Amino acid sequence: MSWEEKVRKADPYVAGEQPKDPTFIKLNTNECPYPPAPGVSRALARLAGEREYARNRLYPDMDAAKLVDALAAKYGVEPEQIFVGVGSDDVLAMSFLTFFTNGSPVLFPDITYSFYDVWASLFRIPYVKVPLSEDFAIDPEDYLPSGQLSSFLPAGTEAGGIIFPNPNAPTGLAMPADQVERIIEANRDCVVIVDEAYVDFGADSVLPLTQKYDNLLVVQTFSKSRAMAGARIGFAVGSRKLIQYLKNVKFSFNSYTMNMEAIEIGTAAVEDDAYFRKITARIIRTRENFKRELRAMGFTFPDSRTNFVFAKPPADRMSAREMFGRLRGKHILVRYFDKPRIDGYLRITIGTDEQMDAVVQAMKEILA
């Protein structure tokens, strides 16, 4: 057999376009339109100092204790309840590997974050996609052993794990905390992961429930509400037991992942809670204004609690695909997924008020 026949062949994920041209309004990857907390700039200036920059010669603190302590203080949990990683993708992949590789199928929605089935395949985890309702909602009944759960599982199997984003992506819809708790409470025999990448934009977090349920893992990211996609920081909160299992797996094959710079600037970001609240409130306000404009133009959309809106152009006027192309022609980038059930929608990131005004103006011109 030749060496090429022995190689794993994979299809790379195609991320939203990253234009070099600065005239583009970039609303296609759910980035934050505002800079990170000013303390991040000060932390970088400190890191440039003679003694500090020299610390790069040493391995970073593999426990990232400084960042973990800041997160523990912010969320009112013990440091031993926190796991940090290189973006929430790293944290989630590690969680799949730790909690879902027991041979039983893991369940997640059919329309959801696109990496779940990729990680499942990579780690050879059987999985079941649970269809969202017609209006894109997650129905908690579908995940309850007393409800529809068994109808989704192969005969004789039990759930090996459950994961869903709340709010879900790319729909933007959030479940209230009591509905999420029903799912967790009814599934104490497997780990339930709630992926809260977008929770800071007005949805309920179940992070406090990690004190009550030792099988609950809540995953969050610095890439959206903390405006730090460039720094690659994600974290998980759970019971001490859960986090210890996660750390044991992670440290069994890679001791050092988060670099010294990420630990320092991530800490600075967490420490400025006032700035965090200010920019998330601003994005929520801009989003609600944008929803009103969309509605007035005849768009329909699930009621987003995220930093994006998943919107369908007025059906009699224009397809999502065409609107996507026409917006691009006006140097406005949004996201279009050419996939069943969602190919009628555009995922539009919430930018600044000025950017959203420009989008509305462009849409009006296109629809005119």
- Looking only at residues 42 through 71 of this chain, which bind its own copies when binding is defined by CB under 8 A? 42, 44-45, 47-50, 53-62
- Looking only at residues 138 through 177 of this chain, which bind its own copies when binding is defined by CB under 8 A? 158, 160-161
- Looking only at residues 253 through 272 of this chain, which bind its own copies when binding is defined by CB under 8 A? 253-262, 265
Q: How far is the CB of 336 from its own copies (least distance, A)?
A: 18
Choose between 266 and 302: whose C-beta lies nearer to its own copies.
Answer: 266
Task: With contacts defined by CB under 8 A, name the span among 66-74, 166-174, 186-194, 305-313 that binds its own copies.
Answer: 186-194
Give 229-276 as a DSSP string.
Answer: GGG--EEEE--HHHHHHHHHHHHHH-S--S-HHHHHHHHHHHH-HHHH
Q: How far is the CB of 117 from its own copies (least distance, A)?
A: 10
Task: With contacts defined by CB under 8 A, name the span among 13-21, 132-140, 294-302, 308-316 that binds its own copies.
Answer: 13-21
Among 113, 167, 232, 366, binds its own copies (CB under 8 A): 232
User: Token pair for residue 321?
Assistant: 């695909």
Q: How far is the CB of 173 from its own copies (least distance, A)?
A: 24
Q: How far is the CB of 127 from its own copies (least distance, A)?
A: 14
31 makes contact with its own copies (CB under 8 A)? yes
Q: How far is CA 246 from the centre of its chain?
A: 19
Who contacts 262 (Cβ-Cβ below 8 Å, separation ≥6)?
67, 86, 231, 232, 233
- Looking only at residues 195 through 214 of this chain, which bind its own copies when binding is defined by CB under 8 A? 214
Among 128, 137, 229, 358, binds its own copies (CB under 8 A): 229
104 makes contact with its own copies (CB under 8 A)? yes
Choose between 160 and 302: whose C-beta lies nearer to its own copies.
Answer: 160
Among 133, 176, 251, 329, binds its own copies (CB under 8 A): 251
Among 83, 108, 119, 276, binds its own copies (CB under 8 A): 119
Q: How far is the CB of 162 from its own copies (least distance, A)?
A: 11
Q: How far is the CB of 238 from its own copies (least distance, A)?
A: 11
6 makes contact with its own copies (CB under 8 A)? yes
Yes or no: say if 85 and 279 are a contact pair by the CB < 8 Å rule: no
Cis peptide before 109 (omega within 30 of 0): no
90 makes contact with its own copies (CB under 8 A)? yes
Q: CA 94 to CA 1: how far, in whole Å?
A: 33
Q: How far is the CB of 40 from its own copies (least distance, A)?
A: 6
CA angle, 322 then 311 then 338, to 5°: 50
CA angle, 192 then 266 then 191, to 5°: 10
Q: CA 154 to CA 145: how far, in whole Å?
A: 13
**Angle formed by the axes of helices 260-271 and 38-47, to 10°?**
150
315: helix, strand or coil: coil
Taking CB atoms within 8 Å and a gap of at least 24, the contacts of 141-150 are 143/107, 143/183, 143/186, 143/187, 144/182, 144/183, 144/186, 144/187, 145/186, 145/187, 146/186, 149/107
Q: CA 265 to CA 46: how far, in whole Å?
A: 10
Q: How far is the CB of 164 from its own copies (least distance, A)?
A: 17
Choose between 14 and 368: whose C-beta lies nearer to its own copies.
Answer: 14
77: helix, strand or coil: coil
Among 79, 97, 282, 326, binds its own copies (CB under 8 A): 97
Burial group, residue 66, by CB count within 10 angstroms (0-12, 13-18, 19+): middle
Q: How far is CA 90 from the centre of its chain?
A: 11
Instruction: Please give the size of the binding site for its own copies, defined by CB under 8 A.
Output: 92
Choose between 135 and 252: whose C-beta lies nearer to its own copies.
Answer: 252
